[in-house]
């Protein structure tokens, strides 16, 4: 990975330009009618498909081209992971405005497929810090678009069905060496929601600043907000990259300190809490599990293998339905949603992350009210179905409740919407107009087909 201060040097510009030209050549060589996809070594999607040979080779688009500390911007290729992006920006005392929780999420993936983290209550979604996008469209052309362009507005939540981000100019913000965490317990979701709304409005809690906020729900009677702020020094530094498990510390500690890097990746080591499904949290296994394999991408590969092989399903006495979703709920409806979720779904823990859009113009394929405060609710597990339940029934129940409460659902995992309902939620009119302009021959998949029909 190459980095520099200021504008990209001539060699970097030339190399990127050659990589773009070569990729266009690859694209043009794909016969008409054959599906176009990317050949990527990692994925953070949960729409698993059988392995397919070939695909566009985008390995050369994984670099940070430049970091400009004076303007607090970076030029970044689309397949650059946030792990590498953070490694390039932190030496300059900077970080992306929103750093999604998992190391191998790519910048292009976060822009096309959304993302969120504990700075989202003040910085919105990752694509809102992009100033410019270079996109390989479905027509095989390369265009550079900015905030006033329709494709720029319609690119978020398009999931590679309009084109692929090859490069982005993004905003950065300054960091300090440490982050102080306060884990505040609440006995009810109603009280928690009230505090979320107040903290996000005031950016403080009990007279002290709040730069980051997220929450963890262990049950209907045990839930925490983690309120974090920048610090120049720390009386100690906790380490959750080895034997210690971060989410368990939320229950045990009231105050904690992490380096900025460890704070950004606090959830990756155990994939939030999902590593327990592989035994990685058992004390004996933990000692034997190599530290370099305590990573979300390792766990994702295990899940993908399990889905293909059906191994865990063969061991289970019940029919299990994967319920892996992130939904945005208006803060006023959060308690109602959590009550429904505990009663009807029963997955614990659950992650909470407040979000308010920065941009007031809007993002048509994922329409959110810019005046509203939402809380992202994330849950990732399986549920045992009752004998009379069909596979997909719990996910459909969640989809219906989210709609009832005026919320939204991310599309990185299984979705069950009917086509008319889907396009009503994700602005089918705008999508079809963009599809006609930038992928007239439908070289790339349709958004509904990709996210719901899973073709």
Q: Is the pTM of this model over 0.75?
A: yes
For position 48, what pLDDT does the model report? 52
For 52-74, write each residue's pLDDT tens digit: 555 889 999 999 999 999 999 99
Task: Tell me which DSSP letter residue 445 carries.
Answer: P
Residue 143 placed within a domain: yes
Residue 118 placed within a domain: yes
For position 139, what pLDDT does the model report? 93
What mean pLDDT is predicted for residues 395-422? 95
pLDDT, mean over the chain:
92
Question: Domain range spanning residue 169?
Answer: 10-175
Lowest mean pLDDT among 5-19, 145-159, 166-180: 5-19
What mean pLDDT is predicted for residues 21-50? 77
The number of distinct structural domains making up the chain is: 1
For position 453, what pLDDT does the model report? 81
Residue 14's closest CA among 26, 2, 5? Answer: 2
137 has which bridge partners?
163
For position 309, what pLDDT does the model report? 74
For position 1, what pLDDT does the model report? 37
Q: How confident is the model at residue 44 (pLDDT cuts 50, 70, 90)?
A: low
Residue 96 placed within a domain: yes
For 332-361, write each residue's pLDDT tens digit: 999 999 999 999 999 999 999 999 999 999
Residue 200 placed within a domain: no
pLDDT of 43 strictly over 80: no
Q: What is the CATH number of the domain that holds 47?
A: 3.30.465.10
For position 3, what pLDDT does the model report? 42
pLDDT of 41 strictly over 80: no
Q: What DSSP letter does each residue of 197-261 carry, written as one string?
A: HHHHHHSEETTEE-SEEEEEEEETTEEEEEEEEEES--S-----SSSS-HHHHHHH-SEEEEEHH
Residue 113 placed within a domain: yes
For 108-132, write each residue's pLDDT tens digit: 999 999 999 999 999 999 999 999 9
The two tokens of residue 367 are 């329409």
Residue 454 placed within a domain: no
For 189-238, write each residue's pLDDT tens digit: 999 999 999 999 999 999 999 999 999 999 999 999 999 999 999 999 99
Residue 330 placed within a domain: no
Residue 75 placed within a domain: yes
Strands in 255-259's sheet, in edge-to-edge order, are: 255-259, 178-186, 222-231, 212-219, 350-355, 374-384, 320-330, 408-409
């Amino acid at each position: 990975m190459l980095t520099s201060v200021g504008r990209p040097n001539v060699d970097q510009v030339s190399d990127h330009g050659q990589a773009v030209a070569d990729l266009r050549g690859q694209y043009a060589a794909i016969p008409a009618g054959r599906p176009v996809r990317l050949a990527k070594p990692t994925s953070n999607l949960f729409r698993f498909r059988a392995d397919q040979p070939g695909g566009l080779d985008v390995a050369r688009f994984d670099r940070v081209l430049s970091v400009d500390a004076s303007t607090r911007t970076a030029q970044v290729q689309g397949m650059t992971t946030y792990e590498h992006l953070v490694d390039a920006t932190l030496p300059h005392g900077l970080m992306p405005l929103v750093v999604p929780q998992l190391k191998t999420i790519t910048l292009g993936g976060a822009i096309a497929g959304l993302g969120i983290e504990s700075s989202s209550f003040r910085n919105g979604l990752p694509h809102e810090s992009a100033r410019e996008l270079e996109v390989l469209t479905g027509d095989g052309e390369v265009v550079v678009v900015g905030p006033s362009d329709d494709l720029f507005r319609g690119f978020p939540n398009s999931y590679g069905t309009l084109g692929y981000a090859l490069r982005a100019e993004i905003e950065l913000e300054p960091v300090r060496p440490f982050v102080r965490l306060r884990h505040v317990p609440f006995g009810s979701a109603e009280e928690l929601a009230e505090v979320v709304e107040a903290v996000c409005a005031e950016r403080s809690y009990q007279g002290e600043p709040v730069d980051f906020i997220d929450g963890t729900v262990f049950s209907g009677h045990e839930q925490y907000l983690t309120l974090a702020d920048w610090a120049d020094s720390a009386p100690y530094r906790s380490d959750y990259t080895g034997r210690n498990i971060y989410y368990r510390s939320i229950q045990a500690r009231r105050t904690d300190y992490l380096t900025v890097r460890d704070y950004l990746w606090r959830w990756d080591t155990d994939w939030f809490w999902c590593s327990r499904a592989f035994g990685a949290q058992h004390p004996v296994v933990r000692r034997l599990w190599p530290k370099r394999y305590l990573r979300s991408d390792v766990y994702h590969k295990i899940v993908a293998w399990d889905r293909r092989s059906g191994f865990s399903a063969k061991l289970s006495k019940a029919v299990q339905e994967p319920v892996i979703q992130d939904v945005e709920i208006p803060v006023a409806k959060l308690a109602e949603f959590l009550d429904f979720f505990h009663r009807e779904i029963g997955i614990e823990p659950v992650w909470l992350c407040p979000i308010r859009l920065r941009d007031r113009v809007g993002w048509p394929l994922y329409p959110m009210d810019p005046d509203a405060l939402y809380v992202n609710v994330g849950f990732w597990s399986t549920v045992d179905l009752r004998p009379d339940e069909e596979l997909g029934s719990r996910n459909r129940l969640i989809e219906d409740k989210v709609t009832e409460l005026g919320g939204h659902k991310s599309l990185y995992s299984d979705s069950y919407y009917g086509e008319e309902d889907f396009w009503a939620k994700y602005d089918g009119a705008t999508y079809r107009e963009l599809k006609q302009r930038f992928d007239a021959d439908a070289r790339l998949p349709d958004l509904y087909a990709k996210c719901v029909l899973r073709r």
